[in-house]
Amino acid sequence: MFAGYILIAALLPIFMTVVFVAGSEIAQVQGFHEVLEKKIPMKEIKLPQTSFIKASDGAVISEISKPVNRINLDSADIPLFLKELFVVSEDQHFYEHPGFDLPAIGRALAINMQSNDIKQGASTITQQLARNLYLNTEKSYNRKLSELLYAYEIERSYTKEEILELYINAIYFHNGVYGIEAASQFYFQKPTKELSKAELAFLASIPNNPSMYNPFKYFDRTKERQERLVDQLSEKQLISLGEAEEIKNEPILLNRREQIDLYPDYVTYVEEELSDLIAQQEGFNKKLASAAEQEKEKVEEKLRQRVENVIASGIIIETALDPAIQEKAKESVKNRLPYNDLEGAAVVIDHEKHQVVALVGGKHYQKYDFNRGYQAYRQPGSAIKPLLVYGPYLERTNASLQKKVNAGPYCKNGYCPKNYGGGVYGNVSLERAFIYSYNTPAVRLLDSIGVENGFKDLANFQFSKVTASDHMLSSALGGLSYGMTPLELTAAYTTFANNGYYQPARAIKKVTTMDGKVLYSWKDSQVEVWSKATTDKIRQLMKKTIQSGTAKKINLSNGYAGGKTGTTNDYKDYWFIGLTDQYTAGVWIGKDKPENMKSIQSAAPQQLIWKDMMTK
C-alpha cells in the first residue's frame, strides 16, 4: 500500500505539470497529447440502450435490454434541475476543472495515506463517466491513475454539456436500470419530463451508492439522501428555502414497472428474422455461401456480434403482428390439443402484404424454446400436392379439372404407393383426386410431367431443406428427406392468393433508429411461379376440398375459403393449409418425437384450429 502512495505522489505532479505547462513547454504538451491519443483513442461514445419491438398498431410488445436497460436522452430533454443536483452533489467544480479536481485529489490522498486505506476517491463527474465507460470499480491506485487519464481525454474531446448528458445516461440506478429515463419509467412509470422535482431528486439519490440507496429495500434511507441533496441546492441558492421544503414534503409514491415481454412465439421469430435481414443487407449471406467450412463459423460469429451491436444501439423493430389474431391462434392451439405430448404450430400471413401477422410455436411456448412455427422441419404429406404436383401439372397441360386420371394401383421401379385405406377408384376427375387426396393419381401426374419439372417449380419457394435427394416420385406424397416448416409451407401457399406470384412473407416491416431513421427493410421481389389461370383452378379445388372433400369440418359462412389437408405415413403429422380472402394460414400438429396419432384423426384438431383463427 505504501508503494502505491509513493507512485501516485510521484506521478500526479508530473501529470499536472505537463497538462498545465505553458509558453516554452508547449511542444512537450503537444507531445503528451499525442501519446495520450495513441494510448487512449477517444472514439465516439455510444451508450448501449434498450431496443423495442412493436406490433402493427404501434404498441410495444417487447423490450430488448441487451446488454443493459437504458433509454438515452438528449441533453435538451434532461431537466436543468436534475443536472444541478448532480453537479452540486457529485462535482461542484465540474464546469471549471479539466476532468479532475486537483485540490480534492490532494485532500483525498492525505486522508487515504493517514488511514492506510482508500477511503476517499475525489472522483469528478468526468472520472465517474470514464470509470463507467472504460474501467472497473476496483479500488487501486493504478486504476485511479487510468481514470484520470481517461477523464482528461474525455474533457479534451467533449463539451461539458455533452459530458453531463453522457454521465446522466450512463450511471446505474440499481435493479438493472441505467440512465435517468429508464429509471424514471422503472420506478415511477413516467418519462423523465413528467417527473416532479421531488421525484427527480429521489432518483438522483440512488447512483451515489445504488445498493445502499435501493428504493425498494431502503426507501427511508433514500428519502433522507434526497432531502440532503435538496438542502445542498438550497445552500447554493439554486432554489429557495421555501421551495426546498415543498420538495422535501412531497410524498414519493413508487410505481414499479416490469419490462414488456409479450407474445414470445412471435417475438422469438422476429429476433431470428432480424439476423436474417442484417445478413442479407450487409453481405453476410454472400460470405457464408462462398466460405469454406472452417471459415463459416468465423462469419457466423461476426454476424452474431453485428446483430448484438445493432440491438445495443437502440432500435425500433416495426412488425406486422396482429395481437388479436395472435391471441386467438395461441388460445386455439392450446385448447384444441388437450392430448398428452401432442404439440402444434400455426402461422397466419396477410397474403396481400406478404406479412406474417401471427405465429405460434407450441401449446405452452416459452421465449427461446424450440419454436415449431419456424424451426420444426416435418414431412408435409399431401399438403405438398398443390405445390409439387397440381400446380406444375395444370401449368404445363392447361387441363380441365374434369379431366380423368387413373386412381388405381400404381408401381414403378419398385415404388408402389397406395391410396388411403387401400382404396382403388379407377378413373376419376382431377377435381375428385384432389379434394379426396387420392395418392396414386398424384404420383401419376408428377410422373407424366417429369419429376424435375415439378421440382423446378418448387424451387421458387426456397425451402431450406429440400435437397437433390428428394427429386423422386415419392415426394409427390410428401416423402421428403427433412420436410419443411409450417412457416415455409404456409408462405408457399400465398402464391395461390396472388395469381401465381410468390414473395417471401416477413414479420419485420422496417427497423429504425429511435428518431425514425430507417436502417433496414426487406427488399423482396415477386417471382411468377404459375399463371393466374392455374392458380384460379387450384383455388377452386381447395374450395371444393372444404365444401365436400377432406376438410368438411371447415365451413366459413362469409367470403372465400379453401385449403388442403396433409397426413403423413403412420399418421405422424396432420396439416391444414388454407386461404381466405385476406389471409393464408397453416396449422401443423404432431409430437416432437413422431408417433402414430390415428386415434385423433376423426377429431381433426388442425382443421378446427384453422377455423378458429379465421373466424371473425
Q: Is 56 a catalytic residue?
A: no
- Estimate to the nearest angstrom the gap between the alpha carbon of 224 and the chain centroid: 41
Phi and psi (nearest 5°) for 80?
Answer: -55, -40
**368 — alpha (psi -120 to 50), left (phi > 0) or beta?**
left
**Using the 8-state DSSP alphabet, how is residue 580 labeled?**
E
Helices (H), 171-255: 180-188, 197-204, 219-235, 241-249
| Rounded Cα gap, residues 501 and 490, in angstroms | 14
The burial of 577, by beta-carbon neighbours within 10 Å (0-12 exposed, 13-18 middle, 19 or more buried), is given as buried
- Estimate to the nearest angstrom the gap between the alpha carbon of 195 and the chain centroid: 30
Q: Is 602 a catalytic residue?
A: no
- How many C-alpha atoms does 235 have within 13 Å on its Cβ side? 10
What does the block give as the cell for 54?
412493436
Strands 69-70 and 177-178: parallel
Please identify which of the residues 51, 332, 382, 437 carries the catalytic annotation: 382
Instruction: Give the sign of the dihedral formed by CA 546, CA 547, CA 549, CA 552.
Output: positive
Please report, in angstroms and rounded to a whole number, the separation of the first and last CA atoms in the chain.
75
What does the block give as the cell for 149?
487519464
For residue 191, whether the previous peptide bond is cis, meaning omega lies within 30 degrees of 0, is no
Kindly provide the residue ranges of all beta strands, DSSP E only, lying in 328-424, ordered along the sequence: 342-350, 355-360, 404-406
Please identify which of the residues 90, 153, 165, 227 carries the catalytic annotation: 90
Catalytic residues: 90, 382
